[in-house]
Structure 1
Amino acid sequence: MEGESADLLRGGIHDALGLGEDNDDDDLLAQQVLFSTPKEDVARRRGGPQPGKRANKDLEFQARYKRFIQQYFAPNPVYDELDFRRRNRMSKSLFSRVLDDVLEADPQYFEQRPDATKRMGIHPMLKVTSALRVLAYAMSADALDENLEMSDTVIYNNVTHFVEAVDKQFGSEYLRSQNETDMQQLFFRVGWAI
């Protein structure tokens, strides 16, 4: 029975491919087509130069960091506090607090480290900025690539690590249900008496 189903299967394949019974070359071709591993399924090694792979973009992370500082944090910044608040949805002081706490929560990811060529990687301030802008404006990572000079993969990793770090640092305090005291303070702020 097993031999019959194999013959039937082979016969069906031969019929489907339009191959004759007498042609060994056709049999060989059919076997190669059916049982070969597609090129896409072959595991590629990660990193490093590979034939057919596009070269890395030469992104100047340090130059971008210096421009970011000049734009927002220099003694005479290009953009003022209101511009910073509008773009990041928070004040500079809150941004600094979030940055410090995120660095504390996930130093392995957010600390600036040299890459394999000994060039310094992306500054934590830019990693946090990219995550904030994706979350605050629902921006695509590709839209930020041009401004912050990071790949979409890096930006999505920044968002993932940022969300986990914020949850770790602030979750118990800010990501909880309001209690009676919180509600009274909120009502007092908006002018409602209890």
Structure 2
Amino acid sequence: MSSRDELVDVDLSDSSRSDDSDLDELLQGDEVEATILLLSVKELEDRVQLLNRRRGSVIGRNHIQRNRLLDHEQLMEDCFAELPTYPPHLFCRRYRMRRSLFVKIAKACEANSNYFKQRRNVAGVMGFSPFQKISTAMRVIVYGIPADYTDEYLRIGEDTTTESVRRFARMIIKLFGTTYLQAPNEDDTKRWR
């Protein structure tokens, strides 16, 4: 064998070795890609589970455009303005309490809970005011009406109404439970006679 043939043999063996290493790298690259693909699929499955569990917008559900600010202004004009549309005796009949007590409760809930603060949502739209959320919760509690019934006047949907009632009840217990949610003492029974 000539030196030239030996050189060719060496080059062939080197190229076959490099082909094998390239093949190994490709296979390892495929394994990495397969791992990434599996992780991506796993991440998608996790997202689907989160979407199924989360609250909020549901794909396929109709969205009803409500003018929350206009509805808030109407509620404030009807019940909480200096000269409201409905006089104090009608407010007491509707809410089973004086307006001043309602305002005190609303301000306390707003100060102690982010849920009752009026904020912008992800889309930049202002949410419901504390007066709207507490009014809807009060109407459900006072009258025992279904949650979707409040949509007619306060323009709040069933899910928000249900959440407002749940959070309002918890907030009232948290804020006023030690003062008002206890067994009456002797002074209370004397006062009630």
Fold conserved between structures, TM > 0.5 = yes
Uncovered stretches (5+) of structure 1, i.e. residues with no partner: 1-41, 188-194
RMSD: 1.8
Q: Which residue of 2 aligns with 1:101?
A: 108
- 2:155 is aligned to 149
Match of 1:124 in 2: 130
Q: What is the CA-CA distance between 1:81 and the residue it aligns to?
A: 1.0
Aligned residue among 158, 167, 182 for 1:176: 182
Larger radius of gyration: 2
Tell which has more relative contact order, 1 or 2 (C-alpha 8 A, sep 6+).
1
Aligned counterparts of 1:69 and 1:93: Cα–Cα separation in 2: 14
* Shift of residue 43, structure 1, vs aligned partner: 4.5
User: Corresponding residue for 1:73?
Assistant: 80
Q: Provide the rounded CA distance (Å) in 2 between the counterparts of 1:78 and 1:181.
A: 38
Count how many residue pairs are aligned between Structure 1 and Structure 2.
143
Alpha-carbon distance, 1:54 to partner: 2.9
> CA deviation digits over 1:151-185, x for unaligned, max 9?
11100100010000100111111110011222222
CA-to-aligned-CA distance 1:39-86 (integer Å, 9 cap, x gap): xxx747255574xx0331111110100111111223432211111111
CA, structure 1 residues 151+183, in 2 after alignment: closer, same or farther (shift >3 Å)?
same
CA deviations 1:118-165 (Å, max 9, x no partner) are: 111000001000111100000111111111111111001000100001
Residue type at the aligned position of 1:148: L
TM-score, length basis structure 2? 0.68
Q: Distance in 2 between matches of 1:97 and 1:177?
A: 23
Deviating above 4 A after TM superposition, structure 1's stretches of 4 or more consecutive aligned residues are: 46-49
